[in-house]
Amino acid sequence: MRPDRQVMFHASSMTGLRNPMVLLVACAVLLAAGAARADVCVEVDTAHDTLSPQDRASARILLEQTLTKDGAGKVSDTNCTETWTMADVKLGNTIDATLTGPKGNRTATATSLDELPALYDQMVRSLLTGTPMSSAAGAELTRDNVTVKQAAPLRVAADSLWYANLGYSAIAGAGYQGGPGFGLGWRYELDSWGIDASLGLAYSPPTNTDSSNGAVSGSWLRLQGLYFLNPTANASPYVGGGISWGGVAVSNSSHSYSKTGLQGEVTLGYELLRASTIRLFVQLGATLPFYAATADNFDDATGKTTTSSTYAPTFLLSLGMAFGGQGRTVNVHLL
């Protein structure tokens, strides 16, 4: 072999080896630096932690495992670059857990010791991402770390009431005509808000012997929302509004009008005995049709039929009584 070729061979061989060596050294340096940055320590705030020594040691191990799993770093007892401090305060079965890390602190509540792993996972994720703890589906929540309280949060109990009301009604259209009116319904009340589902009927009997006038109107399916102006008091005024499906028929000496359709509902009232399971209320309700009642009129002279219309709202001033009690607490699942 010629000397110049031999030299070239050795030179190319050294060049081929140099690049892999450089890459390996660079990777080793990066891994060492990453390892140095990733060493974290866990401390227990013994001045505030109230768990037993055995539970405290178990909780610390669980937090260390969570830090490693969630990518906070490798747990070490020496050469720490970050320190995470934990404190768990137990009262009965409830545990208030506080975790302090380099980016702040988080506090959350577990209903038992069994929920601490899920709670630690949420707090660590929240601190690592910088997002606040959330009762809704936040960034720190996964399908594996939802607690019992989050899965089935308590809701305020509402009052479920059945009622009947009776009073005096006035039906417009072809002149005002008055008579009795009544309603049957169901209410579901919180402190400030309520739902009212009911039906109502107003009747004005004929006022002459030949029965040429009279009126009747009804709301066959009525749904309203109620708002109580003094929600925590034993007595409160309230306002309401909604829609219904119903009809009206009114007549006078010359025409008979009738129509069915969608109607608006407006209510003003005052409810008593709200702290008990029996309620009394006085209310003024107005049924405002979204239609006009029509009448077909036959003209004997011309032999033609014409149509006329009239608007016929209904007003009812009534006294009502409701019976019921506190409903069951509703659980709503997040996931």
The CATH number of the domain holding residue 108 is 3.30.160
Query: What is d(CA 38, CA 42) in angstroms, rounded to the nearest whole number?
Result: 13
Q: Is residue 1 part of a domain?
A: no
Percent of the chain predicted with pLDDT > 90? 48
Q: Is residue 12 part of a domain?
A: no
Number of domains in the chain: 2
Residue range 243-299, pLDDT digits in tens: 999 999 998 877 888 999 999 999 999 999 988 889 999 999 999 999 999 988 776
Last residue of a domain, one of 151, 186, 209: 151
What mean pLDDT do residues 166-194 have? Answer: 90
Q: Is residue 253 part of a domain?
A: yes
CB atoms within 10 A of CB 263: 25
What mean pLDDT do residues 225-242 have? Answer: 94
Last residue of a domain, one of 129, 151, 173: 151
Last residue of a domain, one of 119, 151, 183: 151
Residues facing 265 on adjacent strands: 242, 287
Residue range 143-157, pLDDT digits in tens: 777 777 777 666 667
Check whether residue 108 and residue 207 sit in a common domain: no
Q: Between these two residues, 33 and 218, which has the higher pLDDT value?
A: 218
pLDDT of 147 = 78
Q: Is 90 exceeded by the pLDDT of residue 182?
A: yes
Check whether residue 188 and residue 276 sit in a common domain: yes
Look up residue 312 and give its two tokens: 């016929």
Query: What is d(CA 84, CA 64) in angstroms, rounded to the nearest whole number?
Result: 9
Q: Is residue 135 part of a domain?
A: yes
**pLDDT level of residue 51 (50, 70, 90 thresholds):** very high
Closest by alpha carbon to 55, among 42, 40, 44? 44
Q: Is residue 299 part of a domain?
A: yes
Check whether residue 147 and residue 163 sit in a common domain: no
Q: Say how far residue 204 (Cα) sits from the centre of its chain.
A: 44
Look up residue 60 and give its two tokens: 């610390």
Check whether residue 96 and residue 185 sit in a common domain: no
Check whether residue 257 and residue 137 sit in a common domain: no
**pLDDT level of residue 169 (50, 70, 90 thresholds):** very high
Q: Is residue 314 part of a domain?
A: yes
First to last CA, the chain: 77
**Burial (0-12, 13-18, 19+ Cβ within 10 Å), 3:** exposed
Q: Is residue 182 part of a domain?
A: yes
The angle subtended at Cα 31 by Cα 25 and Cα 35, nearest 5°, is 145
Residue 115 — left, alpha, or beta (φ > 0 → left; ψ -120 to 50 → alpha)? Answer: alpha
Q: Is residue 232 part of a domain?
A: yes
pLDDT of 30 = 47
Its domain, for residue 249, covers 159-326
pLDDT of 334 = 40
Q: How many CA atoms lie within 13 A of 211 on its CB side?
A: 0
The angle subtended at Cα 333 by Cα 332 and Cα 335, nearest 5°, is 155
Residue range 85-132, pLDDT digits in tens: 999 999 988 999 999 998 899 998 888 888 899 889 999 998 988 888
Look up residue 93 and give its two tokens: 């079965």
